[in-house]
């Protein structure tokens, strides 16, 4: 793959969610990523999170297979893992072991609660990680918090933060620093995403309750409204000039209430409102479903989505002025590149056969 990260080599210890997302980001932008698979992992066919890298399947209960990981890490710039704290150490593949052989290695770790702290060894999922940040309390209708999809903790607070930290630490290595360990906790990352809310609250501009604030549905000109056809329209007219355009388009007096706006929007279909407001600064957009989104003219023009083996998925982002990111390669079969990877590491034919047939050589 071509991209600004071309030349970097990353080892990804197979996992779910934020680790694969971070590895996908790095691979999309040019890094060479080798995914070390574990047989029998839960997954989906042609998973977009697994695109753009080679795959080798290893049984890490065997010393011979753990040695493969050590050899990979010795020649790599970075490694990503998302196991519970202590698992890699028990395998003899922890940071101390791998950085001893490769002092320039950036060792990226992503977990829900982090490597240290009272909850470090506790099980959890996205909803739990964002629950302790204060952010989940603010999501949803007045009467109770809503159950969000796992974008905020797993992907924004975990995967994106890890990818950013990996690039930051790799840049430091290129400037002469040693490798280091990244402790990316989804709870920490999700909390950071909420910096704006904490700032507004400290300034007295945010109430600690739902649907009572500018950006949570409490403001009539910033919210979601049901249209005549049962579909929805998003409205984001915060600034005065945008509110003016909205009220003008709705034929309502400035300062109209939520109920006033809802009644007018309910009189037409979603797409009729989109056509009505086209070319204005009313800050409206249709709420599209997953089938509609790839077909939206703006998304088509920007190539926001691509079709890989019948799976519509987001394309690599963002765009660069001087680098054209190549079309991603579809996910490989589990272990598809094992022979080639082992040969590149210097293993002989008999050793390769033994490793891949799960027999000690």
Catalytic residues: 125, 154
Dist. CA 156–CA 103, nearest whole Å? 29
Question: Containing H/E element for 163?
Answer: helix 161-174
Beginning with the edge strand found earlier in the chain, give each strand of the sheet holding 78-81 in spatial order: 54-57, 32-37, 9-13, 78-81, 106-111, 181-185
Three-class SS of residue 223? Answer: strand
How buried is residue 187: exposed, middle or buried, by Cβ count under 10 Å (0-12/13-18/19+)? buried
Q: Which residues contact 184 (CB under 8 A, 6 or more apart)?
A: 18, 108, 109, 110, 111, 158, 161, 162, 165
Dist. CA 234–CA 246, nearest whole Å? 12
Dist. CA 219–CA 207, nearest whole Å? 12
Beta bridge partners of 163: none
Dist. CA 273–CA 232, nearest whole Å? 10
Q: How many CA atoms lie within 13 A of 190 on its CB side?
A: 29
């Amino acid at each position: 793959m071509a991209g600004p990260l071309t030349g970097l080599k990353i080892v990804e210890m197979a996992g779910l969610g934020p680790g694969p997302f971070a590895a996908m980001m790095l691979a999309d932008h040019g890094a060479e990523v080798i995914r070390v698979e574990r047989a029998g992992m839960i997954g989906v066919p042609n998973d977009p999170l697994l695109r753009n890298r080679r795959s080798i399947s290893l049984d890490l209960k065997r010393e011979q297979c753990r040695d493969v990981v050590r050899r990979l890490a010795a020649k790599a710039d970075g490694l990503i893992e998302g196991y519970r704290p202590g698992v890699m150490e028990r395998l003899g593949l922890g940071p101390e072991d791998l950085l001893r052989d490769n002092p320039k290695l950036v060792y990226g770790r992503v977990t829900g609660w982090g490597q240290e702290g009272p909850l470090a060894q506790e099980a959890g999922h996205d909803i739990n990680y964002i629950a302790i940040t204060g952010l989940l309390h603010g999501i949803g209708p007045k009467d109770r918090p809503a159950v969000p999809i796992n974008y905020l903790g797993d992907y924004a607070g975990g995967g994106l933060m890890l990818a950013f930290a990996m690039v930051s630490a790799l840049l430091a290595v290129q400037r002469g620093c040693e490798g280091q360990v990244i402790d990316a906790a989804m709870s920490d990352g999700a909390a950071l995403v909420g910096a704006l809310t904490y700032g507004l609250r400290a300034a007295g501009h945010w109430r600690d309750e739902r649907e009572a604030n500018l950006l949570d549905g409490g403001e009539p000109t910033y919210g979601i409204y049901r249209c005549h056809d049962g579909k929805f329209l998003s409205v984001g007219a915060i600034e005065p000039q945008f509110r003016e355009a909205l009220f003008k388009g709705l034929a309502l007096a400035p300062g109209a209430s939520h109920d006033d706006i809802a009644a007018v929007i309910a009189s037409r279909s979603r797409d009729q409102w989109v056509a009505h407001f086209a070319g204005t600064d009313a800050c409206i957009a249709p709420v599209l479903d997953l089938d509609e989104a790839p077909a939206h003219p703006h998304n088509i023009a920007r190539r926001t989505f691509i079709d890989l083996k019948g799976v519509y998925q987001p394309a690599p982002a963002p765009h660069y002025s001087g680098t054209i990111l190549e079309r991603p390669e579809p996910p490989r079969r589990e272990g598809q590149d094992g022979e080639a990877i082992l040969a590149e590491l210097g293993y002989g034919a008999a050793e390769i056969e033994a490793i891949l047939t799960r027999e000690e050589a």
